[in-house]
Amino acid sequence: MNLDVNHENSTNPALLADLHRILGTHQILSDPLDLLVYECDAYTLEKKVPSVVVLPNSTLEVAEIVRCCKKHQVAFIPRGAGTNLSGAILPIENAVIISLSRMNKVLQVDIENRRALVEAGCVNIWITHAVRSAGLLYAPDPSSQTACTIGGNVATNSGGPHTLKYGVTTNHVLGFEIVLPEGEVIWLGATMEGGEDTGGLDLRGAAIGCEGMFGIVTRVLVNLIPAPQSWRTLLGVFSSVDDASQAVSDIIASGIVPAALEMMDQLITQAVEAAYKFGFPLNAGALLIVELDGLEADLENQAVEVERLCLANHANEVRRARTDKQRADLWKCRKRAFGAIGRLSPNFLTQDGVVPRSKLPEIMRFIQQTSAKYGLRIPNVFHAGDGNIHPLILYNETHAEEVDRAVKAGNEILDRCLELGGSVSGEHGIGVEKAGFMEKQFSKADIEAMKSLRRIFDPEQRCNPRKMFPNGKRCMDFAPRRQISV
């Protein structure tokens, strides 16, 4: 196969004609103005306007589109809500963008078996909304959960604050329907009517987190869990990030498993407070949000122990959410923290490295040094309990030199994560952004094995090509242009 990599944006007229035979006019976008929305995801450093976007209404239509792409030997890219943070759905190679946004229904809820069948474009939080009255919820809760779709969650194996205790997407997806790049529709894992074990190879598990490179996920069977009986939500107020990091390490080592354990440093707290007015202390060096949930019987003891560990690490005070509303407000602030960054800077680049939890104090000190070294502000809001950092490197994209410094600072932080025995991505994925890091984290043999797995699903490698793996040509050399102006 010879993909047309250097081609200027243009739609093959024969392909477009075929797509029109499959879909209604309102399901095909090819007007440059309509397409602008699809030029990037939430990773905005690289952009490219696609040549055509299709909006199927059914698995059948997806399969026909995929077969049409095969016939014309063009690439295609699945797209949910576009909240990805690593450029995993960056349009390249004149690929057809297949947006699942119209396939967004909760199809079936089975309370007794605690499962729900939803379409790939269904927004994450809608599942919990649909089952909340039965005392159930869908556990993985990415900060973007009011927008991101379950198909995208499957593609990136999404996490969220509460995955510390409850696990990530792969732990909660029983099975799914996927349209393979050759046009065949198959189901992997458990079915709506079947038991949770299926025997054979766990291709379900192997495909979750494939960053949309194995096919188009169209329907997903998710597992539901009972909502926790009770909770305690604490806010530890610390003078320094160092003390807060040590408290995290001590809480984990103590044997308590919090539902969530999140940190916000002073810079992000000030921005969040200015935006959402929760009443955070503005002079604190770092805040820890610790949520304990489960059976009422022992929660208070655990809460007291967490308070003790915070105070032992020099917390100035430990506050508690007293009402459901306070708790909900606190989480709203945490989950919308990225949105408050606009108050600090026109642009930001977020990293998603992971370190062993005991190395948290060390990586946080390194981030502070990196900030000083590059003269860039780097606020932090992240999943401390998992050792999953999210430094937000602030820059102004109109200063080319500042963009370079931001990229360099980010790379150094990720290099350090690897040196400490960690990973370059805990939940955002590799996409185009971190493809260059794969060879640092994995051996050539490891990467070859991954590529072999991909070819099992997509022999021609037309599904979301040129992502994840380092290419002979850097992405930027052939397709997306760096963003140079707003």
CA–CA separation, 152 vs 143, rounded Å? 13
Among positions 238-277, residues that touch another protein (CB under 8 A) are 249, 252-253, 255-257
Q: Which lies closer to another protein via its Cβ, residue 109 or residue 344?
A: 109
Tokens 């959960």 — which residue? Answer: 145
Min separation Cβ 439 and another protein, Å: 11
Among positions 121-150, residues that touch another protein (CB under 8 A) are 135
* 328 binding another protein? (CB under 8 A): no
Tokens 């050539």 — which residue? Answer: 444
Q: Cα(first)–Cα(last) distance of the chain, in Å? A: 36
Take residue 329 and report the two structure tokens written for it.
């407000």
The footprint of another protein on this chain (CB under 8 A) covers a number of residues equal to 82
Torsion of CA 463, 469, 470, 475, to 10 degrees: 30
Grouping H, G, I as helix, E, B as strand and the rest as coil, residue 59 is helix
Q: Which lies closer to another protein via its Cβ, residue 23 or residue 261?
A: 261
Among positions 344-403, residues that touch another protein (CB under 8 A) are 354-358, 383, 386-388
User: Which of 24, 279, 342, 421: binder of another protein (CB under 8 A)?
Assistant: 421
Take residue 433 and report the two structure tokens written for it.
């952004």
* 231 binding another protein? (CB under 8 A): no
User: Which of 449, 474, 477, 484: binder of another protein (CB under 8 A)?
Assistant: 449
CA–CA separation, 160 vs 74, rounded Å? 34
DSSP state, residue 392: E
Choose one: 13-21, 258-266, 342-350, 433-441; the region binding another protein (CB under 8 A): 433-441
User: Which of 446, 474, 476, 481: binder of another protein (CB under 8 A)?
Assistant: 446
- Residue 236 parent element (H or E): strand 230-238
* 206 binding another protein? (CB under 8 A): yes
User: Which of 468, 475, 479, 480: binder of another protein (CB under 8 A)?
Assistant: 468
Among positions 147-166, residues that touch another protein (CB under 8 A) are 156-157, 159, 163
- Residue 197 parent element (H or E): none
* 54 binding another protein? (CB under 8 A): no
Among positions 164-203, residues that touch another protein (CB under 8 A) are 167-168, 170-171, 186, 193-203
Residues of 94-130 as b/e, b for ≥16 C-beta within 10 angstroms? bbbbbbbbebbebeebeeeebbbbbbbbbbbbbbbeb
User: Which of 94, 266, 437, 465: binder of another protein (CB under 8 A)?
Assistant: 437
* 471 binding another protein? (CB under 8 A): no
Min separation Cβ 410 and another protein, Å: 15
CA–CA separation, 150 vs 81, rounded Å? 10
User: How do beta strands 106-110 and 115-119 pair?
Assistant: antiparallel
